[in-house]
Amino acid sequence: MSNALRIGVAGLGNVGAPVLQLLTRHGEMIATRCGRPFHVTAVSARDRRKDRGFDVASVRWYEDAAALATDPEVDVVVELIGGSDGIAKTVVERALTRGADVVTANKALIAHHGTALARLAEANGACLAYEAAVAGGIPAIKTLREGLAANRIERVHGILNGTCNFILSSMRDTGREFGEVLAEAQKLGYAEADPAFDVDGIDAAHKLAILAALAFGCEVDFGSVHVEGIRGISALDMQFAEELGYRIKLLGIAEATEAGIVQRVHPCMIATGTPLAHVDGVFNAVSATGDFVDRIVAEGRGAGGGPTASAVVADIMDLARGARLPVFGVPAERLARNVPQPMSAHVGAYYLRLMVVDRPGVIASIAAVLRDQEISVEALLQRGRAPGEAVPLVIATHEAREANVRSTLDEIAAQETTLEAPRVIRIESL
């Protein structure tokens, strides 16, 4: 048993406790599959008395997680505390500095400090594994870093936040508004009391920044991700999307262009016949397009204790097998410096929804603005008649430049017949 892998787990919450349970329940099978025994030798959490389905009395207990990270009798430090800075960052840095391997589910930490941590790991001969940081139980990291390693990746995109996907799916199915469905998601435990991290797109942006670094061999660049959330989506938008043959999803999209890497998170309309249009509820999906493999799609539960614990333990098993890969697929010193592309340069189709006064000449004045901005109309929908009152007017455009669309919306918003700020959703061809 001298070659047993010694594991220390920092954080025994919604993920940490299932990790211990999984290691206990499937311990014999895991040891057989990775060809090496393992032991959980140390843990750290706030409350020692809490029942986590694992006998913590049999291991060393640390009140201070940073002290666990420096324990010489821990080979692999599993960081499940969370947060981009503070104690989580300290734990990871201290473990890597002494040459211990680290497994983490901390998407924010990797998105903000991934490049620096990769350099620290390589400088000390340590590994940093983070499969659980993106898409829960979906092996998105392993797919990009290993399964598609021989491909030049052109694009990676996906549904990266289960809370938003649940809300949008429920809005579509029930016709209810965002606020009502959000309240339901909070009651069901799918959304936090403060849902901003999810519904404003930050969580998805963290994951996209990580996927982009892996896909394109570049430094993690969270600051260059264009981020929009789903608060502005209404039941009316859902109805019009269905009428036009689309569904609304919050997507993360990263693309390699001649000018640089584009990273964007925002609501999208996607055709109902595409695979991601049918990924509903709290499920996630990740799709990658490579020059030889074409397109692959993986779908599954993107969050929750069980799926995330599964990904954490998969990383532990890789380390037990001796798999030692660069953090982002290439040595840290060879990661490219990204040249971010502004969202204003984006070219694509758009859905525009206006609330205007129903009177003669309104459509003509809007058409004049579109003409002047060189925006071509693919479809126009006006529901009902209400002379002198507000009516929705929907325009689906052909491909146009984002800067022109924004100028168009500013001009339309300034017209006296426009009664509220125009809504815009990008139409994506996936």
Contact 342, 401 (CB under 8 A): no
DSSP strand pairing (60-62 vs 38-44): parallel
pLDDT in tens, 351-379: 999 999 988 899 999 999 999 999 999 99
3-state percent breakdown (helix, strand, coil) of the chain, nearest 5: 40, 25, 35
Which residues, 6+ apart, have CB-to-CB distance to 180 below 8 Å?
none
Alpha-carbon gap, residue 249 to 73, rounded angstroms = 46
For the segment 181-191, the average pLDDT, to the nearest whole number, is 93
For residue 208, give the nearest of 257, 121, 135 by alpha carbon. Answer: 135
Beta bridge partners of 377: 397
Q: What is the pLDDT of residue 186?
A: 94
Q: What is the pLDDT of residue 2?
A: 56
Active site residues: 207
For the segment 305-329, the average pLDDT, to the nearest whole number, is 95
State percent of the chain over pLDDT 90.
86
Alpha-carbon gap, residue 289 to 264, rounded angstroms = 17
Whole-number mean pLDDT of the chain?
Answer: 94
Q: What is the pLDDT of residue 70?
A: 96
Q: What is the pLDDT of residue 338?
A: 82
For the segment 14-30, the average pLDDT, to the nearest whole number, is 93
Pick 386 or 154 by higher pLDDT. Answer: 154
For residue 114, give the nearest of 89, 95, 136 by alpha carbon. Answer: 89
For the segment 210-218, the average pLDDT, to the nearest whole number, is 97
Q: CATH assignment of 145-301?
A: 3.30.360.10
Q: What is the pLDDT of residue 245?
A: 96
Alpha-carbon gap, residue 241 to 235, rounded angstroms = 10
For residue 335, give the nearest of 168, 216, 166, 184 by alpha carbon. Answer: 216
State percent of the chain over pLDDT 70.
99
For residue 301, give the nearest of 407, 148, 162 by alpha carbon. Answer: 162
pLDDT in tens, 125-139: 999 999 999 998 999
The CA-atom distances, in angstroms, between 300 and each of 150, 282, 285, 383 are 25, 9, 6, 38
Domain boundaries, the chain: 5-133, 145-301, 344-428
The confidence band for 3, taking pLDDT boundaries of 50, 70 and 90, is confident
The CA-atom distances, in angstroms, between 293 and each of 139, 211, 235 are 17, 17, 38
What is the CATH class of 344-428? alpha beta
Structure tokens at 168: 């949008």
Structure tokens at 226: 């264009």
Tell me which CATH homologous superfamily contains domain 5-133.
NAD(P)-binding Rossmann-like Domain (3.40.50.720)
Q: What is the DSSP string of 145-156?
A: IIITTTS-EEEE
The confidence band for 143, taking pLDDT boundaries of 50, 70 and 90, is very high
What are the backbone dihedrals phi and psi of residue 403, each rounded to the nearest 5 degrees, phi first? -60, -40
Q: What is the pLDDT of residue 169?
A: 97
Q: What is the pLDDT of residue 206?
A: 98
Alpha-carbon gap, residue 356 to 410, rounded angstroms = 14
Alpha-carbon gap, residue 143 to 47, rounded angstroms = 37
Coil, strand or helix: which one is 118?
Answer: helix
pLDDT in tens, 373-419: 999 999 999 876 777 788 999 999 999 999 999 999 999 999 999 99
pLDDT in tens, 49-98: 787 777 777 899 999 999 999 999 999 999 999 999 999 999 999 999 99
Which residues, 6+ apart, have CB-to-CB distance to 51 below 8 Å?
none
Structure tokens at 79: 């960081």
Burial class (CB in 10 A: 0-12, 13-18, 19+), 364: exposed
Which amino acid, residue 59? V
Q: What is the pLDDT of residue 52?
A: 75
Evaluate if residue 1 carries a pLDDT over 50.
Answer: no
Pick 342 or 102 by higher pLDDT. Answer: 102
